[in-house]
Chain A
Amino acid sequence: MALLRFTRDHEWVRLDGDLAVVGITDYAQSQLGDVVYVELPEIGRRVEKGKEAAVVESVKAASEVYAPVAGEVAEVNDALAADPAKVNADPMGEGWFLKLRLADPKELDGLLDEAAYQHFVEEQP
């Protein structure tokens, strides 16, 4: 089972070999509503932990997606350009946003595990 971690900004990050796959959680997509557009970073860009890595736009709002960990963008999910609704349909699977080459794998340790994130979501108003 690959290592899966969450942030309080409702991103998830899953270790896939030496890459970290990043997306938004099911809770985030349900709060956003129908996603109509996703703006992804260019390959090779360095992102800092907690800084903007992508933008997700729904019929209700446009929100920044923050990098859960620092790293270099290795891959982006180009399929979202044609079908942004994948973020709603399968946020943890086909709706992934980008893959980061980790700057410091230890940063993952500071994030929430699945149980802690579930607890965090249940506390949301």
Chain B
Amino acid sequence: MRYLPLTANDRAEMLAAIGVDSIDALFDDVPEAARLAGPVDLPRAMGEIEVERLVSRMAARNVAAGSVPFFIGGGIYRHHIPAAVDHLIQRGEFLTSYTPYQPEISQGTLQCLFEFQTQVALLTGMEVANASLYDGATACAEAVMMANRVTGRRRAILFGGLHPHYREVCGTYARFVGFEVSAEEPLGGEDLPRPVDRDTSCVVVQNPDFFGEVRDYSGLAHICRHAGALLVVVVTEILSLGAIRPPGEMGADIVAAEGQSLGNALNFGGPHVGLFATRNKFARQMPGRLVGQTLDADGRRGWVLTLSTREQHIRRERATSNICTNSGLCALAFTIHLALLGEAAGLGSLLGHGLGSPTSIGGWGAVGWAAVSGICGAAGLIAFYAGFAAAPISVVAPVAALMSTVLPVGIAIAGGERLTAQMVAGGLICMVAIVLVSMPATRRTRQGQQDGPDAGAAARLRGLAYGAVAGAGFGLFFLCLKNAGQSGVLWPVAISRSAGTVVAFGIALATRTRLPWGRGGVTGIALISGAIDAAANVCYVLATRAGLFGLAVVITSLYPGMTVLLARVLLGERMRWLQRAGLLLAAAGVVLVTV
């Protein structure tokens, strides 16, 4: 169909075809009184140039949001959008493509949505995310309705710090779908756990809340679980998740968020992109479109719409939502922007911001933990090498290794971390292994007997002390770094290592130790080992974020085993039978704690 006006000839032809002599004759059935007598009072027709000037004059009366400081967004703010985002989303393949019902011709669209879902799940710390909803507010209302389905209850508690627009959208749905929302005090200071009872389907909270306060909902998650209710965490500013602990780690069951700040313009308040993520076990009760990865007939990777039976084009009455689409183009803009930032670069830019405002990187507390971990680590290293110089290595190394494991694991268990019997057995075997592989490769000297028994005993006692101090330093390093790592990965390691370096340099300068510049490449090797060690610290923080702290420490502490193995392979050093036994024990222990 062409969007062109009809000519007088067209009209005459059509009227002749239906046997009517004028257009007015078609309106004979409408009473005279109800018909328009004359033309509507509109300005006379204008030419193109006139219209352009008129509209430009009107447009000039607007104040563009981007041209002035802007405070009235209520969660929607102008952010920089890389030029690549607009350029890519305007490609015809993306811009004009519609619902990817036919996967065989929609692989590009589906792959982008799959990557979007992956990013949302990673950001929110949840297991599964859908391909987006309309915006954060509808995502929030959908989360409440999903909680009603999962729990079979119909009363949601909306936290006072929830965005007022989100509250209104929930209220509208409640009125027409038929459920109850009970709103708490609008100032957000209420005692949330109090009203959670056996009729509550969910508690909806926001982080950071509408007043900007960053909160920890772990305790509330526990109370909700106990009452059989779900915890819905709303995030109106998705950029915050690059800096603060994601809702998934606090025990959220559903995360509903607004993704506008990544890649999307203000758009006069919409369209935006609603993010929705939950746990795997609730996937079938989830609203919205879901893209899955699969294999085609030839075993190649491909993408399809999955679990479509939740959607209304398959089951109209029983669908999980009346929304059977997604914010495709806005989701694409989000994905492109986030992919351009990349994980490391994104965190790097956060570190830049973060040093200016510690609250945005987890608070001064987290900075403190990272700094203390670095200082403890440096103190441990100094004691370790001082011990090597002043006492038998065969005492210092195993004592340090044992201490560095026992101390943090003991604290973790005292702090309530629960390990299975198998993990405990594996952990104990690992500790024995750590001591065995830390025994030095050289045979024990007869130094003690030559100097007399008293001197030998004194040296061993010194070794015990140095080893214990070194081990305590390493152990506290693990513990503090883990605490700092709750709110990020790269920057805690960066702060930790900076603090350790400053302390070590300070001591070196204060004691006037000469730097070994240019002596046999010592500096170069030290720099490389530092870089590798920092990378290892990053892996360690990732491990503590992914699993149990106690396990991460025990397995990390097996590092002397790797040194012994590398020495055997690269340097051809011979292993003593004790070390071989230690390595075997270590392998057995690791299998026990991880399987």
CA distance A37 to B285 in the complex (A): 13
User: In the bound complex, do residue A37 and residue B318 qualify as a contact, i.e. CB atoms below 8 Å apart?
Assistant: no
Interface secondary structure of B, over-half rule: loop
B284 cross-chain contacts in A, Cβ below 8 A: 37, 39
Q: A48 interface residue, CB < 8 Å from B?
A: no
Q: B353 interface residue, CB < 8 Å from A?
A: no
Kindly supply a per-residue 1/0 record for chain A positions 23-37, scoring 1 wherever the CB is within 8 Å of any chain B CB and 0 otherwise: 000000000000001
Q: Closest CB-CB distance, A14 to chain B, in whole Å?
A: 28
Kindly supply a per-residue 1/0 record for chain A positions 19-62, scoring 1 wherever the CB is within 8 Å of any chain B CB and 0 otherwise: 00000000000000000010100100000000000010100011
Q: B280 interface residue, CB < 8 Å from A?
A: no
Q: Closest CB-CB distance, B161 to chain A, in whole Å?
A: 34
A62 cross-chain contacts in B, Cβ below 8 A: 309, 314-315, 318
CA distance A55 to B152 in the complex (A): 16
Q: What interface size band does chain B fall in?
A: under 10
Nearest B residue to A58, CB-CB: B309
Nearest A residue to B152, CB-CB: A42
Q: Closest CB-CB distance, B476 to chain A, in whole Å?
A: 45
CA distance A57 to B320 in the complex (A): 15
- Which residue among A39, A42, A62, A64 has the maximum number of chain B CB atoms within 10 Å of its CB? A62
List which B257-295 residues lie within 8 A (CB) of chain A.
284
B315 cross-chain contacts in A, Cβ below 8 A: 62
Nearest B residue to A39, CB-CB: B284
A57 cross-chain contacts in B, Cβ below 8 A: 309
CA distance A26 to B567 in the complex (A): 65
B309 cross-chain contacts in A, Cβ below 8 A: 37, 57, 61-62
- Which residue among A37, A39, A57 has the maximum number of chain B CB atoms within 10 Å of its CB? A57
Kindly supply a per-residue 1/0 record for chain B positions 284-327, scoring 1 wherever the CB is within 8 Å of any chain A CB and 0 otherwise: 10000000000000000000000001000011001000000000
Kindly supply a per-residue 1/0 record for chain B positions 134-149, scoring 1 wherever the CB is within 8 Å of any chain A CB and 0 otherwise: 0000000000000000
Q: Closest CB-CB distance, B311 to chain A, in whole Å?
A: 10
CA distance A42 to B309 in the complex (A): 21
CA distance A75 to B318 in the complex (A): 24
Nearest A residue to B285, CB-CB: A39
Kindly supply a per-residue 1/0 record for chain B positions 200-225, scoring 1 wherever the CB is within 8 Å of any chain A CB and 0 otherwise: 00000000000000000000000000
Nearest A residue to B310, CB-CB: A62
Nearest B residue to A45, CB-CB: B152
A39 cross-chain contacts in B, Cβ below 8 A: 284
A-B contact pairs, 13 of them (CB 8 A): A37-B284, A37-B309, A39-B284, A42-B152, A55-B318, A57-B309, A61-B309, A61-B314, A62-B309, A62-B314, A62-B315, A62-B318, A64-B318
B-binding residues in A (CB < 8 A): 37, 39, 42, 55, 57, 61-62, 64
4 closest A-B pairs by beta carbon, nearest first, are A62-B309, A57-B309, A62-B315, A62-B314
Q: A37-B284, A61-B309, A62-B309 are in contact. List 10 more A-B contacts (CB 8 A).
A: A37-B309, A39-B284, A42-B152, A55-B318, A57-B309, A61-B314, A62-B314, A62-B315, A62-B318, A64-B318
